Amino acid sequence: MRGLLVPTTVPLSKSRAQMFDDLVLDAVEHLESRWGAQLRGVEFAVEDVPPELPSYDSDVLEDGEVPLARLLPPRETGRGRRTAPRIVVYRRPLEARALDRADLGDLVHDVVVEQVANLLGLDPEEIDPDGPPG
């Protein structure tokens, strides 16, 4: 047999990593409708697992000892330039905590909201008072 077994328009054609990326994008797009100006220039990234560090700062959202996401604030790089703030979401720890795809979507949304709230210095309820879409 040659060709695709599943058409690209069907969710089965996406890998777990691609589906997770879509969940992060959905959460970011939901927040950009209200906080677009404040989120301009913020980078969002997904990594499979958190790096092994001797300790984490308060910029890390953890469940027990396991990091779920990390906020990397802007920093000076020299010659008056600054890096963009970056929110990194860790896929595997979140997938391990989710009961199903809907629960994973809610978890991802909550983690992104928490990190955006941390970045903007606001409470998560102020960032998204209505909760996840859907």
Kindly give, in sequence order, each residue whose CB lies less than 8 Å from that of residue 107, ignoring residues fewer than 6 positions away.
Answer: 94, 97, 98
The pTM for the full model equals: 0.84
Return the bridge partners of 82, or none: 76
Q: Give the β-pairing of 43-47 and 86-90.
A: parallel
Q: How far apart are CA 61 and CA 26, in angstroms?
A: 20
Q: Supply the mean pLDDT for the chain.
A: 87
3-state secondary structure of 50: coil
pLDDT (tens digit per residue) in 52-104: 875 666 678 888 888 999 999 888 887 788 889 999 999 999 999 999 999 99
Per-residue confidence (pLDDT) for residue 102, from 0 to 100: 93
Return the bridge partners of 47, or none: 90
- Predicted confidence (pLDDT) at residue 1 exceeds the cutoff of 60: no
Q: How confident is the model at residue 131 (pLDDT cuts 50, 70, 90)?
A: confident
Q: Give the β-pairing of 76-78 and 81-82.
A: antiparallel
Q: How confident is the model at residue 122 (pLDDT cuts 50, 70, 90)?
A: very high
Domains contained in the chain, CATH given? 15-50+57-126 (3.30.2010.20)
pLDDT (tens digit per residue) in 11-52: 566 788 999 999 999 999 999 999 999 999 999 999 999 988
Q: How confident is the model at residue 130 (pLDDT cuts 50, 70, 90)?
A: confident
Both tokens of 65, joined, read 């000892």
